[in-house]
Amino acid sequence: MSRPLAVIVLAAGLGKRTKVRFPKVLLPLCGRTLLDTVLDAVAELEPVRTVVVLHHQRELVEKSLAARIGLTVVDQGEPRGTGHAVQVAMAELADFDGDVLVCYGDMPLLTAGTLYDLCEARGDAAVSILTACPPDPSGLGRILRDEDGGFCAIREERDCSDFELDIEEINVGIYCYDAARLRPALEQLSDDNAQGELYLTDTPALLLAAGERVETLELEDVDEALGVNSLLQLAIARSVMQERILEEHMLAGVVVEDPTTTVIEYGVTIGANARILPFTVIRRGVVVGPDCEVGPFSHLRAGTRLEPHAEVGNFVEVKQTTIGAGTKAKHLTYLGDTEIGAHANIGAGTITANYDGKAKHRTVIGDRAFIGSGTVLVAPATVGDGAMTGAGAIVRRHTAIGPGEVWVGVPARRLRSADDGGREERT
């Protein structure tokens, strides 16, 4: 950025049209909330200040932001419109001089590139406005222009004439202001309207009237203009975001056999030449190494790490687990809080029983271990390198199976050596 940048994110609304009991900006989208998605985009611009305006269920939203550093959170109080929200935010930016980018916490498809271009488009103008030409502009404010194509005003749809309703270009609602010229425009806002609110959309016309210049930037991808006001719109946004994520992985050399049935969240790392088979779900925080195979019908949850050439197959769920290089877990298996070495074989129906009703416990399985089909390992438990369990074995908690040992039975017991007839060792 050529000038210092401050960002204001408006997120005070409740979002009644979603019909959920929590703030709209906390709706999930591909591993992030709507608000986190927006904040991640603006963070790429490296703003010197970021102010988030909240109100409804502020404590809940603020808690979700606890891990973020450098945010300023302000309470709008009783909401009185978008202009009022920016007034409250600008009180926190009283000493700031530079660009002020205003965006919304419910517009998750806006990219950092678009926001950067909007800031650059301002140049020496007082404000730059993001516009779009969607297939259906119904319900959205129109951009009015003069005979030379210059910006004149933003007209809300309810105030449009029949002629103005035919205008295709709409106001997206994202602005980049010069801070020094924004302040007097905010002071001139009036609530003399049907809603009794202060509208930020009035500021461009006020700036024009003061002799200032207003620039616009039209979106190349109209999907970015989508605001999430309902769960239906959330589903549309998820579809677009998922397509972006899958495209990024495929361009990096990941073979996604059927993108239409594959879910990969934001924040997943997948190495080149990995194969993701149909009906696979990979959650945020998962790392899949190169040349791995995942699926079909696999579910990789947070904390899962697959080393190169590992394979996870049909109806296998993995959580907080490392699967070593070349290890296979191909069928009907749950691996939770587990560390598995290299070139092990996890038989069909294996369960690491990691939860005792109060706490989670870890299971450690060594290199080249062979876990027989239907084995239950009650954590904490350890299986040494090259060890084996028989089909259907129930390995009790605190059991340590030594390297090369064979355990079978319910509960599992160590077999004697072949010289002793292979009988179970009694304890």
Grade residue 82 by pLDDT with cuts at 50, 70 and 90: very high
Position 99 scores a pLDDT of: 98
User: Which of 38-52, 134-148, 384-398, 411-425 has the lowest average pLDDT?
Assistant: 411-425
Coil vs helix vs strand at 131: strand
* 249 flagged as catalytic: no
Write the pLDDT tens digit of every residue in 328-344.
999 999 999 999 999 99
Given a contact cutoff of 8 angstroms between Cβ atoms, the answer to whether 290 and 280 are in contact is no
pLDDT above 70: residue 427:
no
Q: Which CATH class is domain 5-225?
A: alpha beta
Write the pLDDT tens digit of every residue in 211-235.
999 999 999 999 999 999 999 999 9
Angle among Cα 75, 81, 84 to the nearest 5 degrees reads 55
Residues 6+ apart with CB under 8 A from 393: 372, 374, 375, 376, 407, 408, 409, 410, 412
pLDDT above 60: residue 10:
yes
Grade residue 158 by pLDDT with cuts at 50, 70 and 90: confident
At 209, list the tokens.
């009237």
Position 416 scores a pLDDT of: 61
Grade residue 300 by pLDDT with cuts at 50, 70 and 90: very high
**Superfamily of structural domain 231-420:** Hexapeptide repeat proteins (2.160.10.10)
Average pLDDT over residues 247-253: 98
**Identical fold at 5-225 and 231-420?**
no
Domain boundaries, the chain: 5-225, 231-420
Position 359 scores a pLDDT of: 96
Catalytic residue among 249, 331, 343, 361: 331
DSSP calls for 173-202: EEEEEEHHHHHHHHHT----STT----GGG
Grade residue 418 by pLDDT with cuts at 50, 70 and 90: very low
Write the pLDDT tens digit of every residue in 96-148.
999 999 999 999 999 999 999 999 999 999 999 999 999 999 888 999 999 89
Cis peptide before 380 (omega within 30 of 0): yes
User: Which of 26-40, 96-110, 142-156 has the lowest average pLDDT?
Assistant: 142-156
Cα→Cα distances 6→39, 70, 177, Å: 12, 12, 10
Q: Is the pTM of this model over 0.95?
A: no
